[in-house]
Amino acid sequence: MSDKLKLVVWSREDYELRLSNIRRRLEQESIDALLLADNSNIYYLTGRVFAGYIYIPRQGLPIYFVRRPVEMEGDGVVYIRKPEEIPAAIGMMPPQRLGLELDVLPYSTASRLAAIFPEAETVNASPMMKQVRAVKPPSALQMLRESGARQTHVYNQIPGLFHEGMSDFELQVEIEHISRMEGCLGQFRISGDSMELYMGNILAGANADAPSPYDFAMGGAGMDPSLPVGANGTLITPGTTVMVDINGNYTGYMTDMTRVYALGTIEPLALKAHQCSIDIHRELTGMMRPGTPAKSLWERAEEIVTRAGLKAYYMGHRQHAGFIGHGVGIEINELPVIAPRSRDIIEENNVIALEPKFVIPTVGAVGIENTYIVHSDSAERITDAPEEIIYFDR
């Protein structure tokens, strides 16, 4: 038995599908070769993260340039110490148009990689790889269903964690604990240079209205100005809600789910807004079909909210978020984006987290988030915890 790591984790069939998805885009964009370095893209193709680069020519076989870990084996594995060793291994046919992940790679890294192919025109392959990853292969859909089931199992245990006098932060720590025991990997992959979140977002009462610097749907002041988002130590008191939006990464492909818990009697405006969120889910999942423009979902939700007279509280109150849904998978912010100026068109096997939410001043945040798989004639919900507000004291 070999102690070596197999480079490609996916089945042969799955790997070939993923590779052909990339190649089709290379064809469409007339890119001769792609040099991938981003962990999320390396994971997409191989099912593992390694330090190094994948060189994918439009024709021919990929070459895996590995720095670490040692002792990996697989077709096309070449060990290197630095990227300048890449051209010699590629041989006689340097690319004329080379794709690099320019939205992700640091400027210095991208410049260094571009410089080792001085004859090549460098093009930004980040949008292309986002497109590729937006449509999930069957294996990814299974992993997403598995993440959703385990996340649901965790959410169903949340009411049992509450005790009187608990703060939002204390509740968060207990939810993290059962998530990790359930096998949550913890790591929260985000595309973008300045998005940070530890393990999820818990918002209790008035803290839901505290603006945060990050482009998440909801804010919160956080426990420290070095990470100003989410729980801030607010006591969970009667008449307020607790919104739970915690990490669903159990398999490398993550789901996204939000539920609301409460104590005592919640004022009718908040109850109405919560029901409005559920109504939006019902309406939008009916529209979530291949060929639908993503922005039309945003527009339909906007109509429903406006008609309900809830616009002032929609997607925040003091500060508003600019989207109500997003693709999810290896990273939490994949395509399509459900936003007013989105140009994305919904495709079969997109996986979309929909999160129409409201902030009701002094009460807290309400509304739900579910993750859905887009099929040709339906949207499959894979985050199945009960959608109504769950009362800790009933």
Residues that bind a second copy (CB under 8 A): 5, 9, 37-39, 43, 47-52, 67-71, 100, 102-111, 124, 126, 170, 173, 176-177, 180-181, 183, 185-187, 189, 193-194, 196, 198-199, 210-215, 219, 223-228, 251-252, 318-319, 330
Nearer to a second copy, 170 or 369 (CB): 170
CB distance 238 to 193 below 8 Å: no
Least Å distance, CB 59 to a second copy, is 27
| Dihedral sign (CA 190, 194, 199, 203) | negative
Residue 141 tokens, joined: 């859909």
Least Å distance, CB 202 to a second copy, is 12
Nearer to a second copy, 211 or 239 (CB): 211
311 closest CA partner among 257, 272, 268: 272
Least Å distance, CB 148 to a second copy, is 16
**Neighbouring residues of 117: CB distance < 8 A, sequence distance ≥ 6:** 87, 94, 95, 98
Nearer to a second copy, 253 or 372 (CB): 253
The residue type found at 9 is: V
Q: How far is CA 7 from the centre of its chain?
A: 25
Nearer to a second copy, 48 or 295 (CB): 48
Least Å distance, CB 100 to a second copy, is 8
38 closest CA partner among 128, 146, 122, 147: 128
Q: Which residue has the tokens 């509450």?
A: 162
Least Å distance, CB 51 to a second copy, is 4
Pairing mode, if any, of strands 351-354 and 357-360? unpaired
Q: Where are the beta strands (DSSP E) in 218-355?
A: 241-246, 248-249, 254-255, 259-262, 325-327, 334-338, 351-354
Nearer to a second copy, 236 or 368 (CB): 236
Least Å distance, CB 382 to a second copy, is 18
Least Å distance, CB 196 to a second copy, is 6
220 closest CA partner among 204, 235, 198: 204
**Neighbouring residues of 312: CB distance < 8 A, sequence distance ≥ 6:** none
Instruction: Report d(CA 154, CA 385) in Å as an integer.
Output: 9
Residue 243, beta-bridge partner list: 203, 260
Nearer to a second copy, 214 or 392 (CB): 214
Nearer to a second copy, 189 or 272 (CB): 189
Least Å distance, CB 3 to a second copy, is 9
Whole-number Cα distances in Å, 160 to 155, 157, 261: 10, 6, 12
Least Å distance, CB 27 to a second copy, is 23
Q: How many CB atoms lie within 10 A of CB 35?
A: 27
| Coil, strand or helix at 371 | strand
Nearer to a second copy, 13 or 215 (CB): 215
Nearer to a second copy, 9 or 17 (CB): 9
